[in-house]
Chains A and B, each alone.
Chain A
């Protein structure tokens, strides 16, 4: 019941006028960001971090703003899936399967409404799961020593590619690059300069916010120009909404199942939102069987992946908040924000910053409710905004991202770095090296090295300490499995997902 008290305190934080307005602002911005093709949640949150800084928001307010953006982006992703048959991000892929056929049959409004309801149920159930599971995991994580943490970080990298990951070695290259960038600067424990080459600006290391904006947003701009994608795409018209209570009841069980499955896959390392929506859809198809018209515009085919996707998004916050180890790109970016606000996620977070954590969890509830209320009546407006062609939008987004970075330090050098990371991001994407592990490496690098040194200091240089507890051995085993399994199972799962989407 301790938890309930904390949660009520959280609501006291989240329901102040200031927090509420940030939640609403974040929800609207997030939906837009998620809906715009090519931007995606990770990008959107990344661009907004420096802005939250320059606004001088308090940690709680910026967290509430950005968690609402995160929740909103998950909602927004489905709009382009349904109307354009183009997923805004990977997890939204499964929503295309039944969402687009519904839109073609002139039921776009129903598809959007059903997906909004399913998204809400997914997030709602998963947030309850988060409330129950996070404190337990945080308590358990207090048992972790430095060697367990080192193993945990290794696990995070090993499983980041996910079960559907294509080339594990490319994930490793990306992670190593990120960790190497993190090692630039003055070493905290010894004071030795590493890879600074006496350049003053490098003494403090490379700012990961700049890296995130460069890698994601600027490289995206390059891709837009290369593909001549400036005009955007033709889309289906939205009809007037005709949704009965019967329809809502029909998708209820589906949404509940999807939410739970999504939450589980969000919490587990290496599964993530893509798998969440995939499993939910596949299971629903099995459960309903021949009674459904899956693939031809069945409402339940829209509800299942959306509930799964949003459930996974909230579930992914569990390892991020309690262990400081994010499971997905967007949670990695949220972690970046916490770190830059001088908040160290991990088990201590629940003790030292209890008001903040519970405020954020309450904000998730409020944000999702706001999203549901916003989305049904306002979907028409979002669709209109979606029709702004990228040729006008991307330049403005680039300007906003640049101003955000410039406003933090007022230095042109930071912007040069941003462009440099943009070029790097473009090249990495061309050779199909994932960008998220680079970011995660930059974020976790200092902590990972610290725990290694701490562990070896305790053991007087004996490397066996890394494997001397049952817990750390388990973590290593999972890490190694996470690295090897995708090479065996990956092609099979991917082939199945491919079959379904074709």
Chain B
């Protein structure tokens, strides 16, 4: 199968066209236009990307297999967990959110739950202490703040 490259090439071609068209719509710089404005370089780029994308569609390489659906969901959840961690640092606090993320990742990578929790708590607490005391960079405590 050589579907990957064709689909990705098409996406890149669309991106190239949008990127190029958007560049022509830049407002004229303050003080009149010059021989090379802010749009010149992006237009060149959109041509390069467009031509390469067309080549990719015409001469695709053999596909690398995508993971099965359950694995894609797994990867999606992984990304979501990191996003949640990022969000939670400020609201729930660094230690708790880092503990949750590291434990979850260890567990999903095949460690047993007890060991995952140990790694999670040790790493989150030690990084917190390292940053707040040794490096003097305040990471939020969140809910643990008394």
Contacts and interface: CB of A to CB of B under 8 A. Distances in A.
A253 interface: no
Given A180-B49, A192-B27, A395-B102, A173 B56 contact: yes
Contacts of A176: 16, 45, 48-49, 52
Contact of A230 (B27, B90, B101, B111): B111
Given A173-B52, A407-B137, A399 B109 contact: no
Given A400-B127, A403-B139, A432 B86 contact: no
Given A177-B49, A187-B38, A395-B101, A415 B82 contact: yes
Top-3 shortest CB links A-B: A461-B35, A415-B86, A395-B105
Given A416-B86, A452-B36, 15 more contacts: A54-B135, A167-B61, A173-B56, A221-B78, A226-B71, A230-B109, A391-B106, A396-B102, A399-B123, A412-B86, A412-B89, A418-B82, A423-B79, A430-B4, A456-B40
B35 A183 contact: no
A166 B59 CA distance: 13
Interface string B71-86: 1001100110011011
A337 B10 CA distance: 34
Given A177-B49, A416-B83, A431 B4 contact: yes
18 contacts: A54-B137, A55-B135, A176-B52, A192-B37, A194-B38, A221-B78, A396-B102, A396-B119, A403-B98, A403-B127, A406-B139, A415-B86, A418-B82, A427-B8, A431-B8, A448-B41, A449-B41, A453-B41
Interface in A382-408: 389-392, 394-396, 398-400, 402-403, 406-407
A191 B30 contact: yes
B29 A402 contact: no
State which size class the interface on A falls in: 35 or more
Contacts of B120: 395
Main DSSP-derived SS at the A contact region: helix
Given A402-B86, A419-B86, A226 B38 contact: no
A457 interface: yes
A488 B86 CA distance: 47
A224 B109 contact: yes
B34 interface: yes
Find the residue from B71, B74, B137 having the highest chain A CB count within 10 A: B137
Interface in B38-67: 38, 40-42, 45, 48-49, 52-53, 55-56, 59, 61, 64, 66-67
A142 interface: no
Interface string B1-38: 00011001000100010010011001101100011111
Contacts of A203: none
Contacts of A195: 19, 22
A218 interface: yes
Given A170-B56, A419-B82, A461 B109 contact: no
Contacts of A175: 48
Nearest to B28: A192
A175 B102 CA distance: 34
Contacts of B27: 192
A426 interface: yes
Contacts of B59: 169
A460 interface: yes
A228 interface: yes
A194 B4 contact: no
Contacts of A403: 98, 127, 131, 139
Interface string A20-57: 00000000000000000000000000000000001100
Contacts of B90: 412
